[in-house]
A and B are shown apart, each in its own frame.
Chain A
Amino acid sequence: MSRFPFFLSLVLLGSALAATASQAQIFAADQARTPQVEVRLLSDSASVQPGQRLVLALEQRIAPHWHTYWSNPGDSGQPTAIAWKLPAGATAGPILWPTPERIDIGPLANYGYSTQVLLLSEIQLPKDLQPGRDLAFEAAVTWLVCKDICLPQEAKLSLHLPVAAKAQASVQADSLKAARTALPGKAPWPVQAQRDPQGKLLLSWPAKGEAPGQAQFFAAQWGPVRHAEVQTLSREGQQWQLSLAPGESPLAAGQKLQGLLVLGEGADRKAYQVDLPLRAASAEGSTSNGEVVALLPALLLALVGGLVLNLMPCVFPVLSIKAFSLVQQAHGHADEARRHGVAYTLGVLASFAVLGAVLLLLRGAGAEIGWGLQFQSPLFVLGVAWLLFGLGLSLSGLLEVGAGLGGVGSSLAEKRGLAGSFFSGVLAAVVATPCTAPFMGAAVAYALQQPGPQLLAVFLSLGLGLALPYLLLSWWPALQRLMPRPGAWMNVLKQGLAFPMYGAAIWLVWVLALQGGAQAVLIALCGMALIALAAWLRQVSRHARSAPWRRLGLASALGALMAALMLGAGLPVAAPQSAAAGVAEAGFEPYTPERLTELRAEGKPVFVNLTAAWCISCLVNEKVALSRPEVKAAFAERGIHYLKGDWTHQDPRISALLAEHGRSGVPLYLYYPSGAEPRILPQLLTPGLVLDELRADKKT
């Protein structure tokens, strides 16, 4: 029994030898065959011209169950090799390897080809070729073909092509072109490689569109990845993640992982080249990194972040209204006040839940989104600006809010009673979004990476933080007693509170100017005039004695509002000017991934500032830290290149850089010391902090 396989292998061996012998007969032809493999030399040109970049291909037709090898053969085997003998002056490029397949043999894995493969090579012809000549291209080809057993084989092939004044395509030109197009390309999205705490390599890329079905990584070299190990694909938030077992010589951080990422199956396979440094494990204890934050700390952070939001300039005006209404309610029944507190909290929670749900939906739709993104939509900015202006008018007393003026957020928020409390909660949540407080960044980035329930939990926690002070105030009568007594001063206070509203509206118009230019400002201001007109019409007509007059007043007020809305619909969407120019002074270059790579390749230190006009903390940081003379001097002294990415409008390249560092919103400050891994600076900067960071670089 055991003798038979031995005999069989002798027979196979014999046939291999016979194949080798038969090569002598077919030497110098363009094709050759062994029992396992037919090889053929193909050209994309029937005739060539001087200076042409010719494409030659070695075709292998492989018998069933046999395979030849890719550039990295895997656990065993050997890649096909071509030694060219070319006309004088011609040079051959390396083999352009098509996407291989994984062939499992017991506990081992090989990377190779079965059935048929075209191995393309580019041949650069010299310029001084004389038309009429005949060029000979010879290829000494060696390959290993394996089934259960392996047979090394070789062939010498040659091809003769005439030189013409103008090259002529061959009959194979199309199939060679198709093979070339099918070669692995660059990934159209950012791919990252990092090591997880268990030592596995994680390859991740954005989860867009439908699931890839199957994902495989083919390492270009032996060592970094264990070829035969199962590779598991999972979805982590917005990313697909392929987990790879490290091989015999694992990569260190910064070393490059090279290979092919292959998605899909069968004829639909798509292969992308991977050539990227392994990311350093993120600094421990850094709250800025989404991965470090576990759910419970994230919930706590979100709660604290929500509390901090109360102090943010974009929330404050709304909260001042709320505080004002609390003053009134504190003198009602305690139960009543509590109900208002709860209604307000519910309003905040409801809008955060809606926001979370919308984010989930958008994430599902594969949109590249981030916190504060809604402020990247000019229409949204315009809407909020008008809303705040309307609120201002109401506080000023121009618009006495009563029944009948429905549909306007201001009226809802101003409404007395539980509905009013509920809607002021909604309003607080809506205007709070652009204030990415330091604590919130990490929590939200974390949430965006999480499955739905966790994301909602983090958002609700954030909302609870925002609502908490007022909830406490409404429940704790002792605190309420500290509130001042109502009186005439309340009206004065109310009118005074209109000014923060106008201020916020002005800020938003400024943001709008950066987003939509002068025309947007015109639209915003005309809209405000129309809103004021509507308010005035309503105000003067509501006390009219005859009903038709009142109706006319109401109708014309509504007409003015409609006109404003129609104006808003004509808002320019595209940016007429670079927003960056408006954000800060000179002394920086706009961020592009190419420029960053280029500077890094030159070994220059780089500081990257990702900002947006609607991001208040960004602007504050620039004012108090980044544009201070001592910081500027330090930058100049150390030759640091300052790149600024403006996210006022959506920019997928900036979103990609944010995602790379586990963020979903601005600000993000990155310092890339010369030849070292980037360091993330905190979201609140001081000049000393920035200088320390630069000095740390000098010490190392």
Chain B
Amino acid sequence: MMTLPATRRLLIVGALSLLSAGLAQAQAQLDQAAPGFRAQTADGKTVDLASLKGKTVVLEWTNHDCPYVRKHYNSGNMQGQQKDAAAHGVVWLQVISSAPGEQGYVEGPQALELNSKRGAAPSATLLDPTGQIGKAYGAQTTPHMYIVNPEGQLVYKGGIDSIPSNKVEDLARAEPYVKQALAEMAAGRKPNPANTRPYGCSVKYAKG
């Protein structure tokens, strides 16, 4: 009595998969609610974006082998911004959307080890091997940066700074978009620019 006919089940499954495909297509929009997620972290916990309401959240897509990511870690630029953020009560989340078998894919312990070796200090590292969170946000590159305000709205997306290169020398000349955005928000203003070009390696989503 309670079991649904097979065809009907099939229809529901079909509808649900269509719906989820639609959700995956919908890209994160500025000034709208940031796509919610519940994700495993490298230290075995789970983080729910909804539980971080009231705090500013930075999302950093990363791939430790990407030359553009290495530029920001080898120079200490990324670690510096992470620590600065923590000091101001900002939650900084690394996100790894590399699929198993692709560059940058790591499991929890390895992610923690990499961070301790690099002196990185994110609040947590989210493991997104299915690429679900990455696709929900439309993350294209590593690094690709997003800022969610305490109301849960997406207020910044794009590059970490203004010069798309893998050269450490360019850091000094570049406009540090994320740093600026956090400073503006701390001063009660909206980030400007709020939408910039991300640069780096492509996010290594699962193929096909």
Contact = CB atoms under 8 A, between A and B. Distances in A.
Interface of A: 1-2, 5-6, 9, 13, 75-78, 105-108, 110, 144, 146, 148-152, 222-223, 248-249
B129 to A, nearest CB: 9
Interface residues of B, number: 33
A477 to B, nearest CB: 64
Contacts of B67: 144, 150-152
Interface string B84-108: 0000000000000000111101110
A5 B164 contact: no
B166 A107 contact: no
A76 B140 contact: yes
A150 B140 contact: no
B201 A2 contact: no
A228 to B, nearest CB: 8
15 contacts: A6-B105, A6-B106, A75-B140, A76-B199, A106-B203, A106-B206, A107-B140, A108-B140, A108-B202, A148-B204, A149-B65, A149-B204, A150-B202, A152-B166, A223-B197
B192 interface: no
B135 interface: yes
A144 B166 CA distance: 9
Contact of A106 (B65, B101, B205): B205
Given A2-B101, A9-B103, A76 B207 contact: no
B197 A76 contact: no
B62 interface: no
Given A222-B197, A248-B195, A249-B195, A77 B202 contact: yes
B183 interface: no
Given A108-B140, A223-B197, 8 more contacts: A1-B101, A2-B107, A77-B202, A106-B131, A107-B205, A144-B67, A146-B201, A150-B68
B66 interface: yes
B200 A76 contact: yes
A105 B107 contact: no
B75 interface: no
A13 B65 contact: yes
Nearest to B157: A248
Contact of A78 (B101, B110, B199): B199
A342 to B, nearest CB: 55
Contacts of B105: 2, 5-6
Contact of A110 (B164, B202, B205, B206): B202
B100 to A, nearest CB: 6
Interface of B: 65-68, 100-103, 105-107, 110, 131, 135, 140-141, 157-158, 164-166, 195, 197-207
- Which of B102, B107, B131, B135 is most buried by chain A, counting CB atoms within 10 A of its CB? B102
Contacts of A149: 65-66, 103, 201, 204
B193 to A, nearest CB: 9
A105 B65 contact: no
Contacts of A110: 202
A106 B207 contact: yes
A150 B66 contact: yes
A5 B102 contact: yes
The listed residue with most B CB atoms (<10 A of its CB), out of A75, A76, A108, A148, is A76
B165 A76 contact: no
Nearest to A228: B140
A19 B90 CA distance: 41
B112 to A, nearest CB: 15
Nearest to A72: B197
Contacts of A152: 67, 166
A75 B101 contact: no
B134 to A, nearest CB: 9
A147 to B, nearest CB: 10
Contact of A2 (B100, B204, B206): B100
A13 B166 CA distance: 15
Contacts of B158: 248
Nearest to B141: A76
Contacts of B165: 78
Contact of A148 (B102, B197, B198): B102
A213 B103 CA distance: 36
A148 B166 contact: no
Given A105-B202, A106-B205, A78 B164 contact: yes
Contacts of B203: 76, 106, 108
Q: List the 10 shortest-distance A-B pairs measured between CB atoms, nearest first.
A: A76-B202, A106-B205, A222-B197, A75-B140, A150-B201, A152-B166, A149-B103, A76-B141, A152-B67, A108-B202
A5 B195 contact: no
Contacts of B164: 78
A102 to B, nearest CB: 14
A460 B200 CA distance: 60
Contacts of A106: 131, 202-203, 205-207
Contacts of B205: 106-107
A13 B103 CA distance: 11
Of the candidates A13, A77, A150, the one having the most CB atoms from chain B within 10 angstroms of its own CB is: A150
